[in-house]
Amino acid sequence: METLKDKAEFYANFLETKTRANGQKFICQTDNAPKEFTEMIRNVHEAIGGRLPCDQVYDVISEVLDLLSDANDQDHAETLINEIEADIYTSDLIAWFSAHNGNAEYLTRAIQECGSQTGDQALISAQYLFKQDIAAVVFSFINAEVEQAK
């Protein structure tokens, strides 16, 4: 029987790192990715405000799949996802924030839900919420795939 770990490892193989002409590396889906994986990626983009595909989202999807690949069981997977960390450098947080207008909604949520006291705290909380929203969709997808395989 396939486990959550097995499914995460399987789908992680359908992400690859490429290099743009300017030397910037980015993660994208492989050409041979299964239809259900492509649909999950679309669902992630829809869940975070209907965004077009972007590097930040693919980075987090890859991070979540890597975490799930290390999970011993469902509880461990949930713990690992809850422990996803936001960037700690202000320059990285500002780059994340300025990359998409929709990130302002995460900043608003961070201020309202997390009671952030400083700008840095608010940005860290905003990015954490962003990553958690993506992780929720990926985790749900992997869980459904495990259940379907039973």
How many angstroms separate the CA atoms of 71 and 78, rounded? 9
Q: Which long-range contacts (CB under 8 A, 24 or more apart) does 8-17 make?
A: 8/65, 8/66, 8/67, 8/68, 8/69, 8/71, 8/142, 9/65, 9/69, 11/37, 11/40, 11/65, 11/142, 11/145, 12/62, 12/65, 12/66, 12/69, 15/58, 15/61, 15/62, 15/65
- Tell me the pTM: 0.93
Digit-by-digit pLDDT tens for the chain (150 residues) are 789 999 999 999 999 999 999 999 999 999 999 999 999 999 999 999 888 888 999 999 999 999 999 998 889 999 999 999 999 999 999 999 999 999 999 999 999 988 867 889 999 999 999 999 999 999 999 999 998 877
Angle at 140 between CA 113 and CA 148, to 5 degrees: 165
How many angstroms separate the CA atoms of 9 and 19, rounded? 23
